[in-house]
Chains A and B, each alone.
Chain A
Amino acid sequence: MSAHRRTLKALPVALVLSLAAAACGGGGGGTAQPEKSGSSSPAAVKTGGSITYAADQEPTGFNPNTSKDNGTSVTNVIQGILPSVFVTQPDFSVQLDKDLMESAEVTSESPQTVVYKIKQNAKWSDGVPVSAKDFNLMWKAQNGTNDKFDVAGTTGYEDIASVTGSDSDKTVTVVFKTPYSDYKSLFSFMPPAHIAEANPAGVEAGWNTGFDKGMPVSAGPFKFGDFKPTDSLTLVRNDAYFGPKAPLDSVVFRFLPESTTQPDALRNSEVQMIYPQPQLDLVSQVEGIPGLKSETNFGLSFEHLTFNTTTPGLDDVAVRKAIALGTDREAILKRTVAQFSDEAKTLGNRVYVNNQPEYVDNGTQYAKADAAAATKLLEGAGYAKGANGIYAKAGKPLSFRLSTTSGNALRETQGELFKSQMQTLGIDIKIDNSPSKVLFGERLPKGNFDIANFAWVSSPFPTGNKSLYGTGGGSNYGKYSNTAVDKMFTDANAILDDAKKAEAFNKIDKVLWDDMVSLPLYQKPTFIAYSEKYANIGDNASLEGPFWNVGTWGLK
């Protein structure tokens, strides 16, 4: 519902077992030694056993490429079932799924051509090979030419000119009309084309609603077991899987919508693993339960303030900069996420987060709150403090609404702190929150806000930022417009070399700081806790989520 969920498709949310592939193979009898985190091989585990996970939401269906099912409740389940070409690792690098693919290579830059080679033994659990037909359906459904397909987005696929199969459909050649540098984000969670096409109501119905009740076949370590709506969903080992067999017999998703009940459920052993939004009490409660392992990570989503650059007052870059200088982000951290994670830091980049290798702190001059500098900026821009302590120019006081998602305790606290900091500076803030549905569905798109606090999701695929900061971009809620930045985006989005691309995007971010489009606050933590009887469970704080390597989980 938040921006977190909305940008899901921008990433290659994928299941991959490239780590498993690096192990000795075999069904759970591997003896590989653990290495450094990020590229560790799975630890040796026993075959058999089951794990129950507390899912906060029930999946609405099982094709995450549709607008209806595009959410983490669906992707968590489907990670172990549907094949994806690339997978984002816990260190945010993007790697090929070597169980599924031989290779995926760019063979030409003009026109951009990518050749995908699928493993010969890669097949669905009913024996049908994973083939160019599956790639073709992904493209056909999501290229935006057929309105009958329900899709979450068309990004990337709309740039493709053709998808051709050869070598008995085990080689797929994708030719692009317009270059798309984030091609690695494509072909994630491919549903079985042969099932969708066999739908009596047509392939569109097969794609849209054909997987609502379940996923009949699998090309991953697990397959669909039993779905008891409102209660639980069980995945069982896919014995026909072409990669290393999963050690666990089954994975149970138990639906527990109230995250406050999750610690109790852990303590009672009603579930063995939780992945809730971290919160002070929840974290301290879980840490007090014996026999558990838990870790806090920092994921790709980050909190920030977006300024509406068309609001009178905020259209003045000096005011925006003064607000940024007057905001004590350290103090906000101290009273929010830093209470349960001492590693929380302020964020100095809009494109990359602190623990991405491409990260550079581009906002050093805002690192510490500087009231004197803020005052100087305001007074230099012609504002004078009125009798009520609020700055005003030409009789117009600086008074803005701050809007965020109502009912979110963390953001409400942030709002309160921001309000009091601005009060000290001499800017009046009125709190004007809305439910996330209204905020994201109405107010932000319609520009009905002054300052908004919500989260954006950074990604290894930065091209999506154009719609956030480019002129007329669909998610450019602040109506920021700078033709130089537009040009920089167009250029950067065509760069296929990763290092050069990162450099170009960091340059863009510097300009965004100079124009103070938005103020990044901090990277959001993720929290995972599980019974210490299990091995190989670990968070993937990118949007892959904790189920990215479910095929390696097992009992010690």
Chain B
Amino acid sequence: MTDVTVPKPDMIKADGPQRDVSSRDFTVRRRSQSALVLRRFLQHRLAVISLVVFLVLVLLSLFAETWWQYTSTTITDDLSQGPSLKHPMGTDSTGHDLLAKVLAGARVSVLVALLVAVLSTAFGTVFGALSGFYGGRADTLMMRFVDLILTVPSLAILITLGATIAGGGGDPIVIALILASLSWLQIARIIRGLFLSLREKEYVEAARCLGASNRRIIFRHLLPNAVGPIIVNATIVVAVAILAETALSFLGFGIKFPSTSLGLLVAEGQSAASTRPWLFYFPGLVIVLIALTINFVGDGLRDALDPQQNRVRA
């Protein structure tokens, strides 16, 4: 079951910045940076296990229909039953199989979080790159903007947006957009800081002398050097977004029926915590499991991509 989960080395190698030097004739076996990273990541056992667990969870929820007999809309005759072989997570008062609901909820929650990560990373990277690359007054202005937004309690903005833009519909895509609109700030700051120092490097000057356009310099020369922090940050955004989505849905400003999400399931199960505990604890546990595995993966990636903070050597 593990062979699906680990990216193949040559797949990663392809986007490493140093691939041009490949034809040199060395006696030592060549190790691209990505191979090194992968090696370091694989040594972080907890991160690898977490990645496997997370991917298994995602696959199970994506293909729930093929392996589990119930769907989230199946109405069975078992009302409010505790966990059993037939219903491993029990059923609710309508007769839904909770496992099927949790799988459906996990699918939505994870997709929302991934969408948030992709959108915010893309936007934040471009924003930060432009700010850092051009510097000067534009940089000051753009970064002041980011700093200012960072001081507003984001949950308040999310609640306002959830209550107004989402209009109570609770469409997962809208919720993802709302979450993404506030998640790009961190990555923008990181990339900007990185670009400020990278743009002074000699190879940038060299590229410029060769007549490379700004665009080419940003995307072909600078960005590949920022891949590490981008990936690490995107991972963290996924974990944060999962929790933010659940919090928002819990407060009633996020995803709503007939869509479902893990946060919504916990919110619905809240009143049942002491009478029908399975309705409250199973969805919550799955949230913790997903967020925890992503956080560990992020930790592993950070260690692997940042040799200075090298935990693996011990």
> Contacts A281-B276, A335-B79, A431-B257: A416 and B168 contacting too (C-beta < 8 A)?
no
As a 0/1 sequence over residues 345 to 382 of chain A, the CB contacts with chain B under 8 angstroms (1 = contact) are: 00000000000000000000000000000000000000
> What chain B residues lie within 8 Å of A31 (beta carbons)?
none
Whether B168 lies near A406 (C-beta < 8 A) is: yes
B residues within 8 A CB of A433?
A: 168, 256-258
Query: What is the bound-complex CA distance between A334 and B94, given in angstroms?
Result: 9
Interface residue? B170 (CB, 8 A): yes
B270 within 8 A of A: yes
Interface bits B168-204 vs A (CB < 8 Å: 1, else 0): 1110000000000000000000000000000000000
Task: Say yes or no: B93 contacts A413, CB within 8 Å.
Answer: yes
Is B256's CB under 8 angstroms from A417's CB? no
B275 touches A284 (CB 8 A): yes
Complex alpha-carbon distance, A339 and B168, angstroms: 29
Determine if B271 and A416 form an interchain contact, defined as CB atoms under 8 angstroms apart. Answer: no
Point out the residues of chain A lying under 8 angstroms from B274, CB to CB: 281, 285
Fill in one digit per residue for A436-477: 1 if any B CB lies within 8 Å of its CB, else 0: 001000000000000000000000000000000000000000
B167, closest chain A residue (CB): A438
A417 CA to B256 CA, complexed, in Å? 17
Residue with the greatest number of chain A CB neighbours at <10 A, chosen from B80, B268, B271? B271
Interchain CA distance A520-B276 in the complex, whole Å: 31
Complex Cα distance A282/B93, Å? 13
> B259: nearest residue on chain A (CB-CB)?
A431
Which of the residues A279, A339, A406 comes within 8 Å of B256, measured between beta carbons?
A: A406
Which of chain A's residues has its CB closest to B268's CB?
A409
A280 & B258 in contact (Cβ 8 Å cutoff): no
Per-position binary interface string of chain B over residues 232-274, scored 1 when its CB falls under 8 Å from any chain A CB and 0 otherwise: 0000000000000000000010001110000000001011101
Cα distance A260–B167 when bound, in Å? 25
* B170 & A406 in contact (Cβ 8 Å cutoff): yes
Interface residues of chain A: helix, strand, loop or mixed (majority) = helix
Q: Determine the distance from Cα of A282 to Cα of B270 in the docked complex, in whole angstroms.
A: 11
Residues from chain A with Cβ under 8 Å of B168 in the complex: 406-407, 433-435, 438
CB distance from B80 to the nearest CB of A (A): 7
The A-contacting residues of B in range 56-80, CB under 8 angstroms, are 73, 75, 79-80
Q: Is B95 an interface residue (CB 8 A)?
A: yes
Which chain A residues lie closer than 8 Å to B272 at the CB level? 280-281
Q: How many residues in B have their beta carbons less than 8 Å from beta carbons of A?
A: 22
Whether A335 and B94, one on each chain, are in contact in the complex, defined by CB atoms closer than 8 angstroms, is yes
A330: interface (CB < 8 Å):
no
Task: Give the contacting residue for B94; candidates A406, A417, A434, A435; CB below 8 A.
Answer: A417
Residues of B within 8 A of A413 (CB): 93-94
Using Cβ atoms and an 8 Å threshold, which residues of chain A touch B79?
Answer: 334-335, 339
B258 contacts across to A, CB distance below 8 A: 412, 415-416, 431, 433
Q: Is the interface of B mostly helix, strand, loop or mixed?
A: loop
Q: Which of A259, A407, A417, A438 neighbours the largest number of chain B CB atoms within 10 Å of its CB? A: A407
Complex interface residues of chain A between 266 and 284 (CB less than 8 A to chain B): 279-282, 284
Residues 92-109 of chain B, each 1 if its beta carbon lies under 8 Å from chain A, else 0: 011100000000000000
Q: A406-B170, A406-B256 are in contact. Are A335 and B271 (CB under 8 A)?
A: no
Contact at B75–A407, with CB atoms within 8 Å? no
| Closest chain A residue to B280, Cβ basis | A281
Residues of B within 8 A of A438 (CB): 167-168
Q: Could you tell me the distance between the alpha carbons of A416 and B259 in the complex, rounded to whole angstroms? A: 12
A174 to B198, CA, bound (A): 88
- Measured between beta carbons, the chain B residues less than 8 angstroms from A280 are 80, 93, 272, 275
- Determine how close the nearest CB of chain B comes to the CB of A260; give it in whole angstroms: 5
Residues on B with C-beta less than 8 A from A435 are 167-168
**Known contacts A284-B275, A417-B75; A335/B256 CB under 8 A:** no
| B276 partner residues in chain A, CB cutoff 8 A | 281
Per-position 1/0 for A285-300, Cβ under 8 A of B? 1000000000000000
Chain B residues contacting A259 (CB-CB under 8 Å) are 271
Q: Is the CB of B94 within 8 A of A407?
A: no
Per the bound structure, the CA–CA distance linking A478 and B93 in Å amounts to 31
Known: A281-B271, A281-B276. A406 touches B167 (CB 8 A): no
For A421, the closest partner residue in chain B by CB is: B75
Contact mask for chain A residues 391-407; partner B; CB cutoff 8 A; 1 contact, 0 none = 00000000000000011
Residue of A whose beta carbon sits closest to that of B75 = A420
Give me 5 A-to-B residue pairs in the complex whose CB atoms sit less than 8 angstroms apart, sorted by A's number: A281-B272, A335-B75, A416-B94, A431-B257, A438-B168
Closest 5 interchain pairs by CB? A435-B168, A412-B257, A281-B275, A281-B272, A431-B258
Not counting A259-B271, A281-B275, A435-B168, a sample of 8 additional A-B residue pairs whose C-beta atoms are within 8 angstroms of each other reads A280-B93, A406-B168, A407-B257, A412-B258, A415-B257, A420-B73, A434-B168, A435-B167
